[in-house]
Amino acid sequence: MAQHKAKRPGSAHHRTLPPDAPSLEQMVRSVHRQVLARASHLKAEAHDFHARRGFQSLLEQRAGAWSKLESLDPSRAERVRTDLHLIISSAEVT
């Protein structure tokens, strides 16, 4: 008799954003630190196209988490924006 594995949740198959504002805030802060590190690397290595592609995906992750945070808790989003000195344009938030 074959044993069946338990079905994995949908979030294990597809990357989803956390449903609450505090974890979204942490996600924005974490991804922002990664963006800064990747930007400094790209300044030194301008022709590193693999890093450039990763940089673009980080920007998309930050924009998605930012828009979700702003829709859930605008005051918290504004506080994060001022803490991180972010300039969020309407083109970045999709």
Q: How many Å apart are CA 78 and CA 85, to the nearest integer?
A: 10
Closest Cα partner for 69 from 88, 54, 91? 88
Domain boundaries along the sequence of the chain: 19-84
Confidence tier at 36 by pLDDT (50, 70, 90):
very high
Q: Name 34's Cβ contacts closer than 8 Å, sequence gap at least 6.
A: 58
User: What would the CATH number be for the domain defined by 19-84?
Assistant: 1.10.287
Is residue 35 pLDDT above 90, yes or no? yes
Report helix, strand or coil for 21.
Answer: helix
- Tens-digit pLDDT profile for residues 39-65: 999 999 989 999 999 999 999 999 998
Show the 3-state SS of 64-79. Answer: HHHHHHHHHCHHHHHH
pLDDT of residue 23: 87
The pTM of the whole model exceeds 0.85: no
